[in-house]
Structure 1
Amino acid sequence: MSFHDKFISDRSKARSHSHFTLNQTAKTTKPHSNPIFISGGLPNPIGFPIDEITVNLTTSPNPRPRFVPAATLFSKPGLVEFPDITENSTRLSQNLKILKFAESLETATNGNGGQLTLERSLQYGEQDGHPQLKKFVTALTKRLHPPKLDEKDWNVIITNGGGDGIHKAVDLLINPGDHVLVEEYCFSPSFDNIKSVGGILVPIKLDYDEGLDVTGLKRILENWDEAKQGPKPRVLYSVPSGQNPYGVSQSLERRKAIYAVLKEHGIVIIEDDPYGALAYESYNKKFTNGNSSKSLNTPEKAHDESVDSEARESDISKADIDHYTSLIAPSYLTIDDVGLVVRIDTFSKVFSPGLRLGWIVSHVNFIEKLSLYTSLSTRAASGVSQLLINNIAHSWGLEGWLRWCLLLRNQYLERRNHLLAQLDKLDQSKITYITPVCGMFVSALVHFDKIASSSFNGVTLPYQSRLVELGIEEGVLIVSGSNMAASEELRQTAKFIRLTFAYEDPDLLDEAIKRLGKAVDRLFEEGEIKQK
């Protein structure tokens, strides 16, 4: 115990963080001199829609125009009107000029055409986000995930990225000692968030088709013994689209079934959706597995089996956009009629993670409390981040934004197909995979049980750890499924490793999977690992 421990709050002492991409390895592990990165979930820089930023600096204090009243900086009801976000858009490949001041009183008092000025964005901002940006994310939500609630009953708040949204939602809903329903394998920093406020994780089984298992959810809730276990869970945390790590998405039918259970038992869902815009067509290889009796990869259309990642903006038609948006799984907002959804969204995967900007959509009663916590913690999100995204989004319009998302999605789709084609070349008796329909990741199923079939007791952790070490030696960085487990039992028995196709170029993905194949072969050749 250090001198300072007596000053630190119990809440602070209870916090922990162990990112799933970090692995402990034996001292004898010899790292490859040129490793390939298919572990962490870094978005590819092709998804940053800014080629260059030029900043013109002033040489002396520059007074604001007297014709623009200071009151026009703020969105007072009846004073400032913001234009609608239309389906029409300008070209994506344009130069965007950002002004320090509004050019006239008229433009200032009608919201400056939806654009933020430097004067506004570099100033203290509203804690809920600039009204212009809130207008855009509201329009985007209505376009892709129209809430079932009356419009007066829901609202949005701008956050400092998805992680900030998760933290604030967890703070809003979970008390110390609360049991919280979570997916058995998921984004582990969210588990840390839940535990940091005193929440107790209750893992729900996942299947390889659509993720969260309805039967498993019902079984836990219907058999809950409050006398022995305490109060029934009131919160579910889920990544329903592009589930991390499995890459599967819940269908509308699955979501309706899950929502019915949540509504029956009075449970709020934290719907974390960072990957929803990266929705894909099917892959053309048949695959079945022990958790599913159906094929995950039946082609929907012949043209869906390949993608032209070199397609330009001019090649994208409205029909293409409509087809793309039809692939995006609908949010729980679209079926929630009482306000049980706190939806967390982010710009990280389709614009830039470094800008640290996202938003939450929920019932106005929840948004009010989130706004209060924001005023006491982070305050407003970065004005510069809001400026860049807002002004680009307003200049593109909704159609232009979706056109950009589709062009980016095509790049990731090509990488996904490329990685899966390389995995198809490996020994399928040793390693197979779950085909992702959304997101940035592939879960590869390693058949650890075949290494020592006569003595295998279901414990995979020693084999997981050894495979990570062999990957490091062969020069391929992967994520152990054990690192994404919601309980110690699940950590000991994880059957998968997680790979990403997002960051590396296709030629390096080829080499990465060759190296992975060598690591898997070495693991099987080494044979049984004696349990301690």
Structure 2
Amino acid sequence: MPPPPAVDIDVGAEAVDDNSPSTTPAYLTVLGVDELRANSVFSGGIAAVGLSDAFKSKTNGKKPTSKDFTYRLTLESRSRQPSPLKQAAQYLSRKGMISLGGGLPSSAYFPFDHVSVGVPRGDLFSESDIHKYAHNVTIGKHDMKEGTSAYDLSVALNYGQGTGSPQMVRWVTEHTEIVHNPLYQNWACVMTVGSTSAFEMCLRSFCNRGDYFIADEYAFCSAVEAGRGLGINAVGIRMDSEGMIPSHLDEVLTNWDEKAREAKKPFLIYLVPTGQNPTGSTQGTQRRKDIYALAQKHDLIVIEDEPYYFLQMDKYVSPSAGSNNGSNNGNSTPAPKTIDEFLASLTPSYLSMDIDGRVIRLDSFSKVIAPGSRCGWLTTSSKICERLMRHNEVTVQAPSGFSQAILFKLLDEHWGHGKYLDWLVHIRKEYTLRRNTMLEACEKYIPREVASWTPPAAGMFLWFRVKSERHPAFGRKNMLEMEHEIFEAVIDQKTLLAKGSWFFAEPEGDHPDVYLRATFAAAEEGAMVEGIKRFGNALRISFGLPAFTETA
């Protein structure tokens, strides 16, 4: 099989627009959440056990069970035993129990009586409206005892289980069934301290020092570094405008030479399928099906890291083509009219098409609520979840009690699933406007003779290919030297972009092109446009092009 072309995510290619209708059944739409909640019973107060099975719909039990992938676990993971102290906490729920056994501090010595936070009122989601009309919600120390809430500070701020609090496990379990509806019955959720921590946990659970894991050619640098620190290297698979190329993945795995690589054939694959960091690429439905089929063929475990999943956007059409994108002309970007329409517009997840239980989905509140919450969750088969929960018990234990309590108050008691999905529609629209603003600035200020880009269909990033073959130093300097020279030229213009080389899955591999990554997530609109203008100026200076001239 001939190798696929090297990554070239540019030349005016259009981002994937293959958002096939979701398979979310009608009974699992937001209107059917009551059917889920009717089965939800919390098992106690402090350090209560909260397993996903207690919070699923009755229909879930009619599905088949998953395959057992525990044979893939490392000795470290298989060797973990349940914590005796965590197991003993189950007895605390018995009526009249006096605990003299556990090391749980008395909440009388927590120097907090209550925590109040201002959250959006109704559909007033803009920053100015939240500031002006914020609805204050309060979390008291003894709300559960007083019967005013299902969660309070006396419980949230004490020790808990490795699954996370039952209150948040219930919410993420319901959310997962509403949005993804896994195809097998024995799936489960475990709370995590964000996706980076969850991925490091997966690496330690499945890979030994000297092993490889599979990643995109350009991959999230923290994931790659997490592996290197453990002696686990990434093997990079070539990409196109939809991300990982299935034919190259198949070729690499089929022809894996254990002697030459001095390592076993890898079976763990790390993917950011939607709005990939750094390239901004999004895998369409068929691309995901093709990669999942290869995962079955080569018996892979798929890590589906999806912080940008809900930031899927409308297709971008340039204003020069007569389109109304709604960024600078005062009109709004079209948005789904209903929650069902929003859910149906999402490209199906790997979790939603997984019939084997080989997918481990990582979700996070970092990009849709706040990174500092350090709170997320993973979803996979219950046997693998149990092993990852044991890992939690002896490392991070669980996300911060403050974070879990505040998120529960916002997501469960204040918003509910429907209003949370309304919020996701809102931020999808906001990021679409930001993307459009940056793309319009690029069309105006970036010299296309030396740079190209693909409008992203999701996420927060824009990936520029800088045509190094047209650089005056081409042939005299290597790619890394030219990349650094261009990077320094951008810095001289007081603008910061990220080097493409920072994201190499295999730093020693062949990387003939120069790439730079920009984000449209943070800067104010005016600053974003000015930053792109400065980037264009830097390219003109570096490549010896005429200065930009403003036209009427």
Q: Normalising TM by the smaller chain, what interval?
A: 0.7 to 0.9
Whether the 8 Å contact between 2:363 and 2:378 is mirrored in structure 1 is: yes
Deviation at 1:72, TM superposition (A): 3.9
Is 2:200 the counterpart of 1:167?
Answer: yes
Distance 2:395 2:144 in 1: 35
Count of paired positions:
427
RMSD of equivalent CA atoms: 3.2
**1:360 and 1:77, CA in 2 relative to 1: closer, same or farther beyond 3 A?**
closer
| Secondary structure of the structure 2 residue equivalent to 1:97 | strand
**1:127 and 1:462, CA in 2 relative to 1: closer, same or farther beyond 3 A?**
same
The one of 164, 167, 173 equivalent to 1:132 is 167
**1:408 and 1:317, CA in 2 relative to 1: closer, same or farther beyond 3 A?**
closer
Distance 1:448 1:76 in 2: 57
1:514 maps to which residue?
533
Distance 1:237 1:359 in 2: 16
Aligned-pair identity in percent equals 29
Is 2:489 the counterpart of 1:470?
Answer: yes
1:358 maps to which residue?
376
Is 2:518 the counterpart of 1:486?
Answer: no
**1:90 and 1:523, CA in 2 relative to 1: closer, same or farther beyond 3 A?**
closer
Whether the 8 Å contact between 1:467 and 1:520 is mirrored in structure 2 is: yes
Q: Deviations over 1:76-104 (max 9, x none)?
A: 699xx9899xxxx9835532122221366
Q: Deviations over 1:366-400 (max 9, x none)?
A: 11111111111111210000001111101211110
Q: Deviations over 1:415-465 (max 9, x none)?
A: 110000010112211112121111111001111111249x64994211110
Is 2:387 the counterpart of 1:369?
Answer: yes
Deviation at 1:526, TM superposition (A): 9.1
1:98 maps to which residue?
139
Whether the 8 Å contact between 1:309 and 1:410 is mirrored in structure 2 is: no
Give structure 2 stretches of 5+ with no counterpart.
Answer: 1-42, 58-119, 124-133, 547-552
| Secondary structure of the structure 1 residue equivalent to 2:517 | strand
Is 2:344 the counterpart of 1:326?
Answer: yes
| Secondary structure of the structure 1 residue equivalent to 2:337 | helix
The one of 339, 350, 360 equivalent to 2:357 is 339
Whether the 8 Å contact between 2:183 and 2:355 is mirrored in structure 1 is: yes
1:36 maps to which residue?
none
Is 2:256 the counterpart of 1:224?
Answer: yes
| Secondary structure of the structure 2 residue equivalent to 1:96 | strand
Greater shift in the superposed pair: 494-503 or 483-492: 483-492
Matched letter for residue 490 of structure 2: G
Is 2:303 the counterpart of 1:270?
Answer: yes
Deviation at 1:180, TM superposition (A): 1.3
2:451 maps to which residue?
431
Matched letter for residue 305 of structure 2: D
Matched letter for residue 203 of structure 2: V
Q: How does 1:301-312 map to 2 (within 5 A)?
A: 305-306=325-326
Matched letter for residue 460 of structure 1: M
Is 2:196 the counterpart of 1:178?
Answer: no
Q: How does 1:408-427 map to 2 (within 5 A)?
A: 408-425=427-444, 426-427=446-447
Q: Deviations over 1:501-527 (max 9, x none)?
A: 110011111110110011101110299
Deviation at 1:182, TM superposition (A): 0.9
Distance 1:363 1:333 in 2: 10
Q: How does 1:67-216 map to 2 (within 5 A)?
A: 72-73=45-46, 75=48, 91=122, 94-102=135-143, 107=147, 112=149, 115-150=150-185, 153-208=186-241, 210-216=242-248
Deviation at 1:307, TM superposition (A): 6.0
Distance 2:397 2:483 in 1: 42
| Secondary structure of the structure 2 residue equivalent to 1:354 | helix
1:397 maps to which residue?
416
| Secondary structure of the structure 2 residue equivalent to 1:330 | coil
Deviation at 1:155, TM superposition (A): 0.5
| Secondary structure of the structure 1 residue equivalent to 2:138 | coil
Matched letter for residue 252 of structure 2: I
**1:309 and 1:347, CA in 2 relative to 1: closer, same or farther beyond 3 A?**
farther
Distance 2:253 2:396 in 1: 36
Give structure 1 stretches of 5+ with no counterpart.
Answer: 1-69, 288-297, 528-532
2:129 maps to which residue?
none
Is 2:475 the counterpart of 1:440?
Answer: no
1:256 maps to which residue?
289
Deviation at 1:309, TM superposition (A): 12
Q: With structure 1 as the length reference, what TM-score do the two structures score?
A: 0.74
Q: Deviations over 1:341-389 (max 9, x none)?
A: 1111110111111111111111111111111111111112100000011
Matched letter for residue 481 of structure 1: G
